[in-house]
Amino acid sequence: MSNFWNVYIIALVVLNIVGCAWLLMWTRKMNPADMPADGTTGHEYDGIREYNNPLPAWWLYLFWITLVFGVAYLVLYPGLGKFQGVLGWSSQQEVAQDEAAYQKQYGAIYADYAKVAIPELAKDARAMKIGGRLFANNCAACHGTDAHGARGFPNLTDSDWLYGGEPERIVETLTQGRTGMMPAWKEILGDEGVKKATHYVMSIAGRQADAGLAAAGQEVFATNCAACHGADGKGNPLMGAPNLTDKVWLYGGTEAAITQTLAEGRQGHMPAQKDLLGEERIHLLAAYVWSLSNNR
């Protein structure tokens, strides 16, 4: 935070507190000479007259208590620009303390599990219960509580893997994350080129396609798509390029969905979990994910 914004925030907070205190002082007493004889403000609408009575004492006391609490809070905790408060509290520090306490209580358990190979660990029912909770807390938001995924989020219970389903590849995916990049081809191929490529992709996937367009699209595919998806369209796990010859589609396998993918591209992102979970918990989580498609 720059010094300007630091001073600006401090001034804004202090002025608000002082302004509220001044307003309470100004309104705590009312001069009877400034009021009509009947004690009203002189406003009347539809037979209803507005009185100008002072606030109840208990209400004013609550306002003052709130102001005192606010000042005390700002002295003890962060709130005035760069000032961290006399207690030196921070949310990062609290998270670190919670993490340390968690590690102290459960670290030995994760360390023991980390020594077991993933295929063997996947057979441990107790370990998989812990892995399931790790999945629910960190992965289910995207992949679903049942790990069946959704549009744009892979199904983790089948045998189709963009980057490989071997234990070490799953660990790598969880640790480093993945960033998929399917470039947009509309500007390069034009609408007609995209249409040809779409029908060729549909044809190699066993879907109904226009034979003429598919034949013309084969050359388009070979020139522009084969470098990632392979000459046979079966994909490349090293690049995260999907197999286009099966029935598994991350963004949908209809003509409209494939056309959109080719024309506009896709930008998928799997966040890295290394800093959040650490190697030992990733090992256990990887075993759980591996078990979803192997321990049947």
Residue 132 class from Cβ within 10 Å (0-12 exposed, 13-18 middle, 19+ buried)? Answer: middle
What is the C-alpha separation between 31 and 39, in angstroms, rounded?
Answer: 11
- So what's the pLDDT on residue 199? 97
Q: Does residue 214 contact residue 200 with C-beta atoms inside 8 Å? A: yes
| First-to-final CA distance of the chain | 54
* DSSP label at residue 268: E
> Within 10 A of 74 (CB to CB), how many other CB atoms are there?
17
Type and span of the H or E element at 42 = strand 40-45
Looking at the predicted structure, is the pLDDT value of residue 172 above 60? yes
Q: Does residue 269 contact residue 179 with C-beta atoms inside 8 Å? A: yes
Question: For 207-244, how does the pLDDT look when each residue is reduced to its tens digit (9 = 90+)?
Answer: 999 999 999 999 999 999 999 999 999 999 999 999 99
- So what's the pLDDT on residue 31? 65
* 201: helix, strand or coil: helix
Looking at the predicted structure, is the pLDDT value of residue 296 above 60? no
Looking at the predicted structure, is the pLDDT value of residue 177 above 90? yes
Looking at the predicted structure, is the pLDDT value of residue 27 above 80? no
* Closest to 170 measured CA to CA, from 154, 150, 181, 146: 154
- So what's the pLDDT on residue 26? 81
- So what's the pLDDT on residue 77? 93
Question: For 65-97, how does the pLDDT look when each residue is reduced to its tens digit (9 = 90+)?
Answer: 999 999 999 999 998 888 889 998 999 899 889
- Give the residue-averaged pLDDT of 183-195: 96
- Give the residue-averaged pLDDT of 101-113: 91
> Within 10 A of 147 (CB to CB), how many other CB atoms are there?
21
> Rounded to whole angstroms, what are the CA distances from 63 to 69, 107, 139, 191?
10, 48, 45, 66
- So what's the pLDDT on residue 157? 95
Structure tokens at 146: 């049942």
Looking at the predicted structure, is the pLDDT value of residue 266 above 70? yes
- So what's the pLDDT on residue 235? 95
- So what's the pLDDT on residue 265? 96
Q: Mean pLDDT in the chain?
A: 92
**pLDDT band with cut points at 50, 70 and 90 for residue 173:** very high
- So what's the pLDDT on residue 20? 93
Q: Does residue 160 contact residue 248 with C-beta atoms inside 8 Å? A: yes
Percentage of the chain beyond pLDDT 90 is 76
* Domains of the chain with CATH codes: 3-89 (no CATH), 92-177+272-294 (1.10.760.10), 180-270 (1.10.760.10)
Looking at the predicted structure, is the pLDDT value of residue 98 above 70? yes
Question: For 246-258, how does the pLDDT look when each residue is reduced to its tens digit (9 = 90+)?
Answer: 999 999 999 999 9
What is the C-alpha separation between 100 and 94, in angstroms, rounded?
Answer: 10
- So what's the pLDDT on residue 148? 96
Q: Where are the alpha helices (DSSP H) in the chain?
A: 3-27, 57-76, 91-114, 118-121, 125-138, 140-143, 167-176, 186-204, 211-224, 226-229, 255-264, 274-294
Structure tokens at 109: 């358990």
Residue 294 class from Cβ within 10 Å (0-12 exposed, 13-18 middle, 19+ buried)? Answer: middle
Structure tokens at 206: 């066993």
* 31: helix, strand or coil: coil
Q: Which of 9-13, 36-40, 193-197 has the lowest mean pLDDT?
A: 36-40
Phi and psi for 40 in degrees, rounded to 5?
-100, 170
- How far is Cα of residue 247 from the mean position of the Cα atoms in its chain? 29
Q: Torsion over CA of 93, 99, 101 and 107, rounded to 10 degrees? A: -150
Most confident of 22-26, 37-41, 130-134: 130-134
